[in-house]
Amino acid sequence: MNWLLVVAGAAVGAPLRYLTDRATKARFGPGFPWGTFAVNVAGSFLLGLLTGVASTQAHLLLGTGLCGALTTYSTFSYETLKLYEDGAKGYAVLNVAGSLAAGLGAVWLGVRTAGLL
């Protein structure tokens, strides 16, 4: 039955990723992949928060299911390559450095926040 928890989380995470991407493109335009950036940072924070404070079932539902479908390394990689190929080399570097720094910072903040609970 654990797989049902993963499926349920993914059923929420995938539409959230899609909707976040659409909303950020509508708000900020297509120049920088803010949607992917946002979901990856949010997912990093949630995974950090789950560390040490959640049951196995919560990890399956929220960590593996929701965050697994919400966050995306493949889209991040593709969008970074596309930025580079389209001549936006500075944005490509900013996407890599910013995503790495923000993701690590978010997971650290999530772990620290979990320690306070």
The reported pLDDT for the residue numbered 11 is: 98
- What's the average model confidence in pLDDT over 21-47? 97
The pLDDT score that the predictor gives to residue 53 is 83
Percent residues over pLDDT 70 in the chain: 100
Report, as an integer, the average pLDDT of 81-104.
98
User: Cα separation of 55 and 88, whole Å?
Assistant: 43
Q: Residue 5 — pLDDT band, cuts 50, 70, 90?
A: very high
Compute φ and ψ for 78, nearest 5 degrees. Answer: -60, -45
DSSP annotation string for the chain: -HHHHHHHHHHHHHHHHHHHHHHHHHHH-SSS-HHHHHHHHHHHHHHHHHTTTS-HHHIIIIIIIIIHHH--HHHHHHHHHHHHHTT-HHHHHHHHHHHHHHHHHHHHHHHHHHHH-
Contacts of residue 92, Cβ cutoff 8 Å, sequence gap at least 6: 80, 81, 83, 84
Q: Tens of pLDDT along 38-60?
A: 999 999 999 999 987 889 999 99
The pTM for the full model equals: 0.93
**Residue 27's pLDDT band (cuts 50, 70, 90):** very high
Q: CB–CB of 77/40 below 8 Å?
A: no
**What whole-number distance in Å separates Cα of residue 67 and Cα of residue 98?**
19
Q: What is the pLDDT of residue 117?
A: 77
